[in-house]
Each structure stands twice: as structure tokens, then as C-alpha cells.
Amino acid sequence: MASTTTTAKNEAKASVKRAKDEVVAGGEAVAAEARRTASRVKREAGAIEDSLTRGAEDLVATVGERLRSVGVDTDRIVDVAKEQATDLQRLIEDEIRERPLRALGLAAAVGLFVGFLSAR
């Protein structure tokens, strides 16, 4: 009877060890698949980014050419836009420094609004 109990214990230990080994192997397989998927997604995201960048550059060039063809000074427009962007940036920085909690609340509200719109 003691032999049967010892055998049962040994079988139980072996079963537990096999189960642990299977869980570890399964975890390693899942981790390897996640790494492969992450690598693939990263490559695809890079390709999409490159494509979007090229498209945006082409669009900017086309718009610039058309504006110049009708006599619009695009260099002056760029200079004015940069000045206005700098002024706006300075205004936002001042507002954040003066009222940080209000700025945080506004940012949260905008985030919720954009999240709501994107969820539709």
C-alpha cells in the first residue's frame, strides 16, 4: 500500500512537471508570436508612414506650384504662418503657466470630445 501511495505521488509530481513545462512552452510560443507580430506591424507602420510622407510631400509640392502659377507668394505665406504659429505657441505656454489646472481640464475635455467622435 505504501508503494502504491509513493507511485501515485510520483505520478502526480510528473504530471505537475509536465503541465508546468507545457505552460512554459506555450508562454514562450505566445511570446515568440507576439514578437513576430510586433515586428511585422512595425514594418508595415513604417511603410505606411513612408507612403503618407511621400503623399504629403507631393501634395505640398503640387499646391505650391499651383499657388505660384497664379501669382501667390508662397514664401511670404510660410513666413506669416511661422510667425502666427510662434505667437500661438507663446500664448498657449503663457496660459498653461498662469492656469495649469484650467489647461489640464481643457485638454481632458478636448480628449474626451475627440474620443467620443472617434468612437462613432
Opening angle at CA 66, ends 62 and 72, nearest 5: 130
Task: Please give the chain's pLDDT, 120 residues, in tens.
Answer: 557 788 888 888 888 889 888 888 888 988 888 889 888 888 888 888 888 899 989 998 898 888 888 888 888 888 899 999 999 999 989 988 999 998 889 889 999 999 988 887
For position 1, what pLDDT does the model report?
53
Quote the pLDDT of residue 70: 87
Residue spans per domain, the chain: 1-72, 73-120
Cβ neighbour number for residue 95 with a 10 Å cutoff: 13
Amino acid at 109: A
What's the pTM?
Answer: 0.41
> Alpha carbon of 31 to those of 25, 26, 38, 44, 114: distances in Å?
10, 9, 10, 20, 34
Q: Cα 35–40–46 angle (5° rounding)? A: 125
